[in-house]
Amino acid sequence: MLDRFVSSLHQARAWGRRLSLMTGLTGAVIGAVMGISGAAHAQALDPVKVRLDWTPWANHAALHLAQQKGWYRQAGLDVSLEDGNGSVTTVQLVGANNTFDVGHAALAPMMIAREKGLPVKALAVFMRRNDIGILVPADSGITTPAQLKGKKIGYTAGSLEAPFIDAYLASGKLKRSDVELVNLDAASKASNYAVGRTDAVFSTIPFVFPTTNKARPSKSMLFADVGLSMPSFGLVVNEAKLAERGEVLGRFASVVARTWEYIFAGHEDEGVDAIIAQRPQARLDRAVLRAQLDALKGFLDIPAGGRIGVPQPADWELAVKTLSSVQLVGTSRPAADYYVTGRVNSPAFDKLVGR
């Protein structure tokens, strides 16, 4: 087809040497063909395949809103988002194979995996404050870890909270034998707490609080409040992928970071709407998503004069201290070895995203 079309153009040029009218027509046709070719080239997009930490929840708002608004495509990216089944699995998949370009996950599992030899690093940090804690009934009178003595507490043995439970209880001069720990799978521990089968529950607070608070009004106590500090959610990348596609992945991280800024500048409902639109089959509760998003805002901890997304060295120093205190990482590796610098540049997309 292309050869035949080009041949037709040559014939038109030949006729154009004899007929001035045809010459003008030929020029217009050639211009149109070259315009189409240029447009096709301009529309070439860089693919980015992303593995999320979990099934849809408010922590994915920026990733879905950037998709819904077309900001990825305008930034030259063709992004696909795949739901996950836990941050640990996401980190392993990103580090161990070539299926995903980047993962959205809790960053402590990334540190643990890197310590064990998996070639992963943090590309961006969106939630700087540790979001793990314990939920207790609002009318329980419990305000400190010491007051958990004798309580039945739900937790998940394979989740991130498990290695820190002893340290958290110790801050209230308690041991495991002073409480009744009930091992529940991650999908059911919130519902067990909501109906009163446990007195408290360890979990990711911005996720579990909005899902249980209506059935059982609650309040939270954070691990960070007793010195167990570490970055929460962000983007994880394989070192080989970073070396191969660093500019593309940095562009993606920057768009997501800038979208978070847009959401928390009064566009929270747009973020909620985007999650629902991108995941219609999930039958999500709009009110719960909005409550989760409002809860997440307290974990941003944007540095004075700074922007969302850029790893802060002090956070990682504290993270090494926290994780090494429970023997999850060593102390010989520099904190700066866990994250990437110079890739997140959200101001570059201020004009694209707007206010």
Distance of CA 328 to the CA centre of its chain: 22
Distance CA 164, CA 222 (A): 12
Element of type H or E holding 254: helix 239-263
Give whole-number Cα distances, 250 to 44, 101, 149, 310, in Å: 18, 11, 47, 11
Collapsing DSSP to helix, strand or coil, 93 comes out as helix
CB contact at 8 A, 192 and 184 = yes
Same topology for domains 47-129+231-353 and 132-226, yes or no? Answer: yes
Strand spans (E) along 142-252: 152-155, 180-183, 200-204, 218-222, 233-238
Q: How confident is the model at residue 43 (pLDDT cuts 50, 70, 90)?
A: low
pLDDT of 75-96, one tens digit each? Answer: 999 999 999 998 999 999 999 8
Q: How confident is the model at residue 355 (pLDDT cuts 50, 70, 90)?
A: confident
Q: Which residue has the tokens 């329980």?
A: 140
Phi-psi region of 29 (alpha: psi -120 to 50; beta: other; left: phi over 0): alpha
pLDDT at position 65: 98
Residue 1 pLDDT greater than 80, yes or no: no
Q: How confident is the model at residue 8 (pLDDT cuts 50, 70, 90)?
A: very low
Residue 20 pLDDT greater than 70, yes or no: no
Residue 7 pLDDT greater than 70, yes or no: no
Distance CA 306, CA 41 (A): 36
Distance CA 125, CA 338 (A): 12
Give the number of other Cβ atoms within 10 Å of residue 189's Cβ: 26
Q: How confident is the model at residue 42 (pLDDT cuts 50, 70, 90)?
A: low
Q: Which two tokens stand for residue 92?
A: 């392993």
pLDDT of 303-336, one tens digit each? Answer: 888 899 999 999 999 999 999 999 999 999 999 9
Q: Which CATH architecture has domain 47-129+231-353?
A: 3-Layer(aba) Sandwich (3.40)
CB contact at 8 A, 180 and 153 = yes
How would you class 74 by CB atoms within 10 Å of its CB: exposed for 0-12, middle for 13-18, buried for 19 or more?
A: middle
Q: Which two tokens stand for residue 47?
A: 């693919």
pLDDT at position 335: 98
* Domain coordinates in residue numbering, the chain: 47-129+231-353, 132-226
- From the list 146, 156, 144, the residue with the least C-alpha distance to 198 is 156
pLDDT at position 28: 43
Q: How confident is the model at residue 12 (pLDDT cuts 50, 70, 90)?
A: very low
Of 96 and 289, more confident: 289
Q: Which CATH architecture has domain 132-226?
A: 3-Layer(aba) Sandwich (3.40)
- From the list 178, 137, 131, 127, the residue with the least C-alpha distance to 300 is 127
* pTM for this predicted structure: 0.85
